[in-house]
Amino acid sequence: MRVDYFLFWSWKLNLAIRAPQLLAVFVTVTLLGLVAFAATRPEDATQVGSVDESGFGNSQNSDPGSSKSGSSKSGEPAYVGRQVCAECHRENFEQHAKHGHAMTFHHVPETDLANRLAGQIVDGGEGFGSYHYRQGDDGELFAQLPELSELSELPIEYALGSGHNAQTFLTLRESANADSLGLEHRVSLYPGDRLAITVGHENKTANSLLESYGSTVHGETVDRCVYCHTTTAQITGNRIDNLVANVNCEKCHGPGSEHVALARQSATPPPYSVGKADWDVESELQLCGDCHRLPQGLSKSELREYPDNAVRFQPVGLLRSACYLKSGRQLRCSTCHNPHVSTHGVSKADHIANCVSCHDESIEKHTICPVNATSGCIECHMPAIDQKQGIKFHDHWIRVREND
Ligand code: HEC
Ligand code: HEC
Ligand code: HEC
Ligand code: HEC
Ligand code: HEC
Ligand code: HEC
Ligand code: HEC
């Protein structure tokens, strides 16, 4: 997990020799996606926080499949599912199963949500009325607005988020044109089965019966919302086809059929995807930043002002940290996060060990903290910043802060 940034050049050499064709294809596809998105991105921040309580509102590229295909023109590998990976990569599989990535998207009738939430009533605030939750015969969950009309109810089809911070409900509707149409509910579920207003919806108003339940999200905004929370999905009208929920192995590694076939023939299959030897910092930032957001996804004013909710976008902070800029750009997400292991079980000591791998008192050329060289690094240099509804994110802009 630790990277010695003084090994930069030996590592570069390694990449030059080993960089496989597939990685090049993958990176190219990702970069093309980014270029396309950079060309169409909105200039201002007005939408941030308005669509997704995570502030992912002004989202990115329009084709939900664009950066996940990973398939070579000749072979066209297909998706095989994470259970197949488990056969040979048991440890990665078990780690990933406990990660937020493995629970970011839920088809509500297949969960116990209806049972848990039936009978609850939530005040939607002025102009909205009270939502009543009802369980259907087959485990479906409905939101009702009896004050508005006795007949008014909306099925809650999907819930996004692991629930560690929140789960937000999404209902898909047929739209008048070919664009996808979704309804992001005004009420989300917070830890402890607490239903409350979705972050970002505080100041919204309703302009139609549908909007009495929340905000409508159209076209690429809803496509992208589903894209970031699933492995494969195709929205057609009010259905999702080819749904593989959650951010699974093949979302990051690409479709695996070819690798599996080759691995069954040989114990040393050729390189398939991102692996330790061939994997470079920029590609990794593109991969994680595709969903966790890159600076290109923020408006100029947000980048300038770096408001508190910008800490949700870890790559944005990391890219402006001296640790990244002055280490020969050796600092990457996987320096501190095994991509398969949830942060929620990682000890404070392990986090400090990551910092100390580059800020080690016993190594003369390292820069050492004059305040505390052995502990408390995260609280002082990457503090957790409060968002609404009790959610906190750690500021990945690692720096000396004014009030330290
Ligand atoms: C039949 C066994 C088998 C199956 C099934 C399998 N792998 Fe592998 N995989 C291997 C072997 C063997 C290696 C090479 C040795 C190593 O690094 O462990 C490997 C290497 C890898 C690597 C390391 C870097 C690289 O690109 O070569 C990744 C990533 C990977 N597998 C991902 C997956 C994913 C994702 C799946 C499911 C889609 C999967 N594997 C299914 C056997 C398998
Ligand atoms: C396809 C989109 C996507 C990609 C790619 C992605 N993430 Fe995530 N990530 C998510 C979503 C969605 C969540 C929210 C999970 C939840 O609801 O708690 C998340 C949550 C996390 C968390 C917090 C949850 C936990 O259990 O620790 C970490 C850490 C994380 N991602 C790291 C990474 C890293 C590192 C990479 C790149 C190697 C990456 N992610 C790539 C979508 C993505
Ligand atoms: C650009 C990719 C992207 C888009 C688009 C996106 N999300 Fe997310 N979402 C994420 C990531 C990444 C996280 C994890 C945030 C973290 O832990 O840092 C997340 C977290 C969440 C969470 C967990 C609570 C929280 O605040 O962390 C919910 C709920 C959620 N998203 C719902 C939605 C809904 C609903 C939409 C669409 C209307 C949407 N998201 C659009 C990437 C995305
Ligand atoms: C969020 C993106 C992401 C997801 C999801 C993901 N991986 Fe990985 N995986 C990576 C990255 C990035 C690396 C390279 C890590 C590094 O360089 O330290 C990697 C490395 C690997 C490796 C080689 C190194 C090792 O840890 O053994 C294997 C094998 C692997 N992944 C298998 C899987 C399997 C199996 C799953 C699903 C159970 C999975 N991955 C899910 C991003 C991901
Ligand atoms: C990959 C190596 C690496 C890792 C890991 C790393 N840093 Fe750094 N960090 C650096 C380098 C290089 C600098 C620039 C030092 C200099 O200017 O001499 C730096 C600078 C800093 C600074 C000064 C920032 C400024 O704006 O002047 C702080 C504070 C800091 N690091 C804290 C941390 C903490 C806390 C962690 C762990 C969460 C961490 N670093 C992890 C390499 C790293
Ligand atoms: C220098 C170490 C370091 C690096 C590099 C790093 N993180 Fe983190 N990250 C942390 C620490 C420490 C936490 C807080 C963990 C906890 O909750 O105890 C964290 C938490 C997170 C979380 C959970 C939500 C939050 O903000 O608290 C996500 C998601 C995440 N990181 C994603 C990323 C991504 C994506 C990258 C690469 C762009 C990255 N991190 C790079 C140290 C790092
Ligand atoms: C109580 C808060 C606190 C704790 C705990 C703390 N730091 Fe610092 N750190 C500071 C302050 C304040 C400065 C600026 C000191 C100055 O400029 O005189 C600083 C400066 C630094 C610098 C820049 C030093 C330089 O010469 O430019 C680095 C690197 C650093 N800290 C890393 C760390 C690491 C790694 C840890 C954990 C092992 C850590 N800090 C723990 C508050 C803290």
pLDDT digits (tens, 9 = 90+) for 233-279: 999 999 999 999 999 999 999 999 999 999 999 999 998 887 656 67
CB burial of residue 131 (10 Å; 0-12, 13-18, 19+): buried
Total Cβ atoms within 10 A of residue 209: 12
DSSP state of 46: T
- Cα(1) to ligand 4 centroid in Å equals 13
- Cα(253) to ligand 2 centroid in Å equals 14
Q: 156: Cβ below 6 Å to ligand 3? A: no
Q: What is the mean pLDDT of residues 326-339?
A: 94
- Percentage of the chain beyond pLDDT 70 is 80
Q: What is the mean pLDDT of residues 360-378?
A: 95
Q: 361: Cβ below 6 Å to ligand 7? A: no
Q: What is the mean pLDDT of residues 368-394?
A: 96
Least confident range of 172-181, 189-198, 263-272, 274-283: 274-283
Whether the predicted pLDDT of 12 surpasses 80? no
Which of 30, 53, 56, 333 has the most ligand 3 atoms within 8 A of CB, as the residue to mutate?
56
Q: What is the pLDDT of residue 58?
A: 29
Q: What is d(CA 401, CA 158) in angstroms, rounded to the nearest whole number?
A: 40
Ligand (nearest to CA of 187): 3
**CA dihedral of 259, 263, 266, 267, whole degrees rounded to 10:** 120
Entry pTM: 0.89
- Cα(124) to ligand 2 centroid in Å equals 30
Q: Residue 384 is inside which H or E element, if any?
A: strand 384-386
Whether the predicted pLDDT of 176 surpasses 60? yes
Which of 95, 105, 274 has the most ligand 4 atoms within 8 A of CB, as the residue to mutate?
274
What integer best gives the mean pLDDT of the chain?
83
Q: What is d(CA 83, CA 321) in angstroms, rounded to the nearest whole number?
A: 38
Least confident range of 11-15, 79-83, 311-315: 11-15
Instruction: Give the atom of ligand 7 at the shortest distance from the alpha carbon of 356.
Output: 35
pLDDT in tens, 66-87: 333 334 445 689 999 999 999 9
- DSSP assignment of 222-266 equals HHHHHHHHEEEEEEETTEEEEEEESS-HHHHH---HHHHHHHHH-
Whether the predicted pLDDT of 60 surpasses 90? no
Q: Where are the beta strands (DSSP E) in 238-328?
A: 239-245
Q: What is the pLDDT of residue 147?
A: 86
Q: What is the pLDDT of residue 152?
A: 85
Q: What is the mean pLDDT of residues 277-285?
A: 83
Which of 323, 332, 397 has the most ligand 5 atoms within 8 A of CB, as the residue to mutate?
323
Q: 18: Cβ below 6 Å to ligand 1? A: no
Q: What is the pLDDT of residue 198?
A: 97
